Structure 1
Amino acid sequence: MCRSIKTLRPPFSEDVTEIDIQAAALQYVRKISGFRKPAAHNAEAFDRAVAVVAEATAELLSAIEVRGSAKSTG
């Protein structure tokens, strides 16, 4: 839980995969919820949060423009 979430934009990471985005979203939700693996009664909300964060992350990465590099079409 004490690891930093990996930066997923250029120049830190050129080839970001869906797996990278999913892993970052999972780590974020784990950190803010305090659950490594939620109890069964919280699993649906936890999984939904991971999906929403992953979607928002992908949207952000496809929209941001980093100075000095070409805009990614990820």
Structure 2
Amino acid sequence: MCRNIKPLFNFEPPATKNEMHDAALQFVRKISGSTRPSQANEAAFYEAVEEIERSVRKLLTALDTKAPPKNREIVAAKARERAKLRYARPT
């Protein structure tokens, strides 16, 4: 999975429309192999982003869990700590 696509389910507050759009855009970029489509492919590229964003919204609305919602700040802090360890320069 692309590292820039973050889990969006079961957070408090819930994922925003902007977060869903960003995830959809990153997914389309990954599978198309292009960060910016050519003029010939622009319509298809952004149509795919919109369709995936709708699917993400539908999925997140339909999912259910008994687990308590995750705190965004705590999850982000843990990710920063993992990155520090992963990318630490050897001394």
Please report the TM-score for the alignment, with normalisation by the length of structure 2.
0.68
| One-letter amino acid matched to 1:8 | L
User: Equivalent residue for 2:50?
Assistant: 51
Looking at CA atoms only, which structure, 1 or 2, has the larger radius of gyration? 2
Runs (4+) of structure 1 exceeding 4 A deviation are none
User: Equivalent residue for 1:3?
Assistant: 3
Q: 5 Å matches for 1:1-74?
A: 3-10=3-10, 13-15=11-13, 16-69=15-68
| One-letter amino acid matched to 2:64 | E
| 3-state secondary structure, aligned to 1:41 | coil
- Give the strand-richer structure, 1 or 2: 2
- Larger RCO of the pair (alpha carbons < 8 Å, separation 6+): 2
Partner Cα separation in structure 1 for residue 58 and residue 44 of structure 2:
21
- 1:15-46: per-residue Cα shift (whole Å, max 9, x none)? 21000000000000000000100000000000
% same residue: 39
Task: Tell me by how many angstroms 1:66 deviates.
Answer: 1.6
Partner Cα separation in structure 2 for residue 40 and residue 22 of structure 1:
21
Q: CA RMSD in A?
A: 1.6
The number of equivalent residue pairs is 67
Structure 1's unaligned 5+ residue stretches are none
